[in-house]
Amino acid sequence: MYEAELKEILDLVKRHNMWRRNECINLIASENVTSPLLDVVYLSDAMHRYAEGLPFKRFYQGTRYVDELEVRVSKIFAELFDAKYSDVRPISGTIANATIFACLARSGDEAAVLPLPGGAHVSHSKYGILGRLGIKPVELPIIPEDMMVDVDAAVKLIRERSPRMIVLGASVVIFPHPVKEISEAAREAGARLVYDAAHVLGLIAGRAYPNPLEDGADAITTSTHKTFPGPQGGAIITNSDEIYEKASKIVFPVFVSNHHLHRLAALGVASLEMRAFGRGYADQILKNSRRLAEELHARGFKVLGEKWGFTRTHQVLLDVRGDGGGARCARALEEANIIVNKNILPWDGPSDIENPSGIRIGVQEVTRIGMKEDDMSEVAELIYRVVKKREEPSEVRRQVIEFRRNFTKIHYTFDVDVRSVAEEIGSLILG
């Protein structure tokens, strides 16, 4: 009765795993791969359990080990960013944003944010949780061709509008945001500064990107699964007693009930991996993104940020208006097993949403599977053949699969016998 449907489900999982983990060059800027050790602790009994509230003050029994684990992981995670506090209960970066927005502003207040075509995440906008909370976004000026905040114009706007809150950090970010300069204007205006570090968290942990807290941000919101190679989830990081205490009472019961407890140990493993290997990993990400941008530019692509060296993050942005647009290019590349996403750029309007000007590329996952600068030349050539030369994607796909066979191991993780660890802790991964 169920055999055919079960077989279909299992077959789809198998096909997905084989395709995405063995046959593709994944360049989605918001994704990563987790280590086998992390996967083992992720698949634990904790995935079935509840722990509403704070450690040792739960509304459920049965959490004695979860409580200890959450306290230890929160401490390890905060220490990565030289911070006093972290709350790892938000189950996504958007939930972390929702918590801090509700903590720092009220309905009717204004918040200075980046425009969506300038890189902001949708949760920072009138369409997302910011707008749903009744907070009114006021867009910070940007320099479109460089995807940078226009510091002088932004400071002027903050002084004129005196917003309750300012949000920096973005989904599309190729250069660091001017946190120090904006934080000084924020203090003058009596505003709180939030930095959404979802995309650059691993670079911050690896000391390859400025720490927003050190430059004056009041709080960091983040997800834990982009350049930071942890399980999907969110977190809040701050040095403020006031913000931490207030936010902790908003996470639960407002936005999170149970916070998916199997994430905790997995986040702890990722945090220790970043403590041990983060600097080398983050440094290689920057080397790879810069080299990929240079190689694409040399092949005739319009790469944003040329004047400033193309990129200082994991991301590379292409303007592919002359190549049929972002949607066409992304579909063709997917047919060749090169996975990117279309993306709006500052000059796109509402009519461009379906086929925007841009392609967003991220190198954090290919870095974690061992690719180095010379491999970026090969990746650039494969992209060039699909987008510029318009070769048949199926022909390029065969070479992508062959190239991908050279990268089967996840790097920047602990050299342990994962099967022995699984057997020792009784992981569900082995039954």
> Which CATH number goes with the domain that contains 194?
3.40.640.10
Rounded average pLDDT over 232-236: 98
| Half-sphere exposure at residue 127, Cβ-oriented, CA atoms within 13 angstroms | 5
In a domain, 46, yes or no: yes
Residue 275: per-residue pLDDT = 98
**What percent of the chain is predicted at pLDDT more than 70?**
100
How far is 45 from 64, CA to CA, in rounded Å? 14
pLDDT of residue 59: 93
In this prediction, residue 431 carries a pLDDT of 66
Q: How confident is the model at residue 167 (pLDDT cuts 50, 70, 90)?
A: very high
Q: Is 156 part of a structural domain of the chain?
A: yes
Q: Is residue 234 a part of any domain in this protein? A: yes
Confidence of residue 351 (pLDDT cuts 50, 70, 90): confident
User: Residue 303's pLDDT is what?
Assistant: 97
Confidence of residue 182 (pLDDT cuts 50, 70, 90): very high
Asked, for residue 287, whether it belongs to a domain, the answer is no
- According to the model, what pLDDT value does residue 330 have? 98
pLDDT in tens, 313-330: 999 999 999 999 999 999
Residue 431 lies in a domain: no
pLDDT reported for residue 145: 86
Neighbours of 311 (CB within 10 A): 24
pTM of the predicted model as reported, rounded to 2 decimal places = 0.96
Structural domain of residue 140, as residue ranges?
39-271
As for how many domains the chain has, the answer is 1
Q: Is residue 288, in this structure, part of any structural domain at all? A: no
Kind of pairing, strands 192-196 and 219-223? Answer: parallel
Dig out the tokens for 76 from the structure.
Answer: 């390890």
Q: Which two tokens stand for residue 28?
A: 């989605």
Confidence category of residue 428, pLDDT binned at 50, 70, 90: confident
- Measure the CA angle with vertex 198, ends 321 and 124; round to 5°: 70
Is the predicted pLDDT of residue 425 greater than 70, yes or no? yes
Q: What percent of the chain has pLDDT over 90?
A: 96
Instruction: State the average pLDDT for the chain.
Output: 96
Residue among 215, 277, 414, 240 at smallest CA distance from 197: 215
187, two tokens: 């203090």
CB under 8 A, 24+ apart: contacts of 280-283? 280/206, 280/412, 281/202, 281/206, 281/229, 281/367, 281/368, 281/411, 281/412, 282/202, 282/203, 282/205, 282/206, 282/207, 282/208, 282/209, 282/227, 283/206, 283/208
Does residue 221 lie within any of the structural domains? yes
Q: Is residue 290 part of a domain?
A: no
Stretch 130-144: mean pLDDT, rounded? 96
pLDDT digits (tens, 9 = 90+) for 268-319: 999 999 999 999 999 999 999 999 999 999 999 999 999 999 999 999 999 9
pLDDT of residue 224: 98
The predicted pLDDT at position 353 comes to 87
pLDDT in tens, 376-395: 999 999 999 999 999 999 99
Strands (E), 233-327: 234-238, 302-303, 315-319
Smallest CA-to-CA distance from 147 within 270, 15, 318 is with: 318
Copy the structure tokens of residue 31.
Answer: 């994704």
